[in-house]
Structure 1
């Protein structure tokens, strides 16, 4: 399967402007042959934690992904702040806070959701967003896809937990430029230690809170080789991933069965 990561800037807290900017970029990725297209973390709002930033499940960001997936006949994913259907009307309690939700929309109208397990406490995300409960793996043809989100990348244990059932990890992010070497290193490390593909899609540009991002989106092979990379501009990285390569790597180098814990 050919996967594309769309490395893009984000208009702060302006969903409609971001939809208008991203639609032609999705089309460009599809034109390059992509069957699965990945957008950044909080692609429609930026990494805003403003009160009221949440939208309902099936809200405008999710509808954008579904509409684009249906129009182009591809899978399309990215994250957005979503308040769960079970939140109820409990006022200002925890249940009304949004999740940082990865939405993966299929060409047939199918929608899968993964909720970020590790809110970024260093920036106060844990005070504005709820934490998810478990990893989610989606079967797309013969490819097993497991998404994680940005800060999750620092927690090897959840990648390990999902590894036996994963061929490719998707990691959309708003990773800041001062720690870019961490992003680059951890993407490769997660690929090597789990013998799986890793697709990292990071934004570029300056966020509304002044945080700088320089992209460094990349697609990494099960052996840790860089199949596609990007620097600090809006662009699209594309590579072919093959579940048979994951199986062959794990058969040739039987490291996973030796893992303890």
Structure 2
């Protein structure tokens, strides 16, 4: 178990529907990290951008991107997470993968599909909330539009870190900032969000604002960057336990069950 977890947030432009080019790009970025980090976080659909053109871009779970993640995680002794387009049982999923150095693969399928872009017409929704146990940290996996739905992310499991990977456009980036902070405060957990930058193939612009907030909603990254950047930040379990002990807000949470 590690009391301190070091995160690397890679805020990046993405080559539209070009998995090989994006894997090569992220290989270079990950290799450039000189610090010893525990977890590298990539954006939503990091091999393609947020495309509804799933058929030519989807991969199986034994495809090149999963193998790339496994190889790089083992080689660099880090965990890697981000979402990709996965085809499984004749369905397409916007799937967040969490690959450890030991080759263990956690997976979360995006529950809230973005109807404004007709994502639900192409992809199947996830049905299960996923908590990963990594180095003694309970980590909740979420994708982009999930950020707008606090009931789904409600901290009934006692997780310490919630991750959101995204393609969240510039036009609504103010909501991204507010909601990341809100999810941290209401769940008394670290909240990390990794968003892309640049233009996508549908003409939407992205300005990042990748960030980490502590369990009181304090921004612990030093800025909200709008350009290509790697942010390194450490999160501390003792700090989280201290505020949870002093302010027992989670003890007063409403009891409910999602049907």
**Aligned residue among 40, 45, 49 for 2:48:** 45
The 8 Å contact of residues 137 and 165 in structure 1, kept in 2 or not, is answered as: no
- How far the C-alpha of 1:32 sits from its partner, in A, is 2.6
- How far the C-alpha of 1:5 sits from its partner, in A, is 0.7
- How far the C-alpha of 1:116 sits from its partner, in A, is 0.6
Per-residue Cα deviation, 1:159-209 (whole angstroms, up to 9, x for no partner)? 11x443310011110000000000000000000110100110000000001
Does the residue aligned with 2:102 lie in a helix, a strand or coil?
Answer: coil
Does the residue aligned with 2:94 lie in a helix, a strand or coil?
Answer: strand
Does the residue aligned with 1:184 lie in a helix, a strand or coil?
Answer: helix
Does the residue aligned with 1:98 lie in a helix, a strand or coil?
Answer: strand
Matched with 1:99 is 93
The 8 Å contact of residues 54 and 92 in structure 2, kept in 1 or not, is answered as: no
- How far the C-alpha of 1:97 sits from its partner, in A, is 2.6
**In the alignment, structure 1 residue 210 sits paired with structure 2 residue 214:** no
The 8 Å contact of residues 54 and 85 in structure 2, kept in 1 or not, is answered as: no
Does the residue aligned with 1:157 lie in a helix, a strand or coil?
Answer: helix
Higher helix share: 1
- How far the C-alpha of 1:113 sits from its partner, in A, is 0.5
- How far the C-alpha of 1:51 sits from its partner, in A, is 4.2
Change (3 A) 1:66 1:178: same
- Please list every run of 5 or more consecutive structure 2 residues that lacks an aligned counterpart in the other structure: none
Does the residue aligned with 1:138 lie in a helix, a strand or coil?
Answer: strand
- Aligned-residue Cα RMSD (Å) equals 1.2
Query: Comparing 222-231 with 143-152, which one deviates more in the overlay?
Result: 222-231
Per-residue Cα deviation, 1:140-175 (whole angstroms, up to 9, x for no partner)? 112111110000000101111x44331001111000
**In the alignment, structure 1 residue 27 sits paired with structure 2 residue 36:** no
The 8 Å contact of residues 143 and 164 in structure 2, kept in 1 or not, is answered as: yes
- How far the C-alpha of 1:251 sits from its partner, in A, is 1.2
Q: What's the TM-score once normalised by structure 1's chain length?
A: 0.92
Q: For 1:211 and 1:176, how far apart are their aligned partners in 2?
A: 6
**Aligned residue among 233, 237, 248 for 2:231:** 237
Total equivalences in the alignment: 249
Matched with 1:259 is 253
- Please list every run of 5 or more consecutive structure 1 residues that lacks an aligned counterpart in the other structure: 88-95
The 8 Å contact of residues 219 and 237 in structure 1, kept in 2 or not, is answered as: no
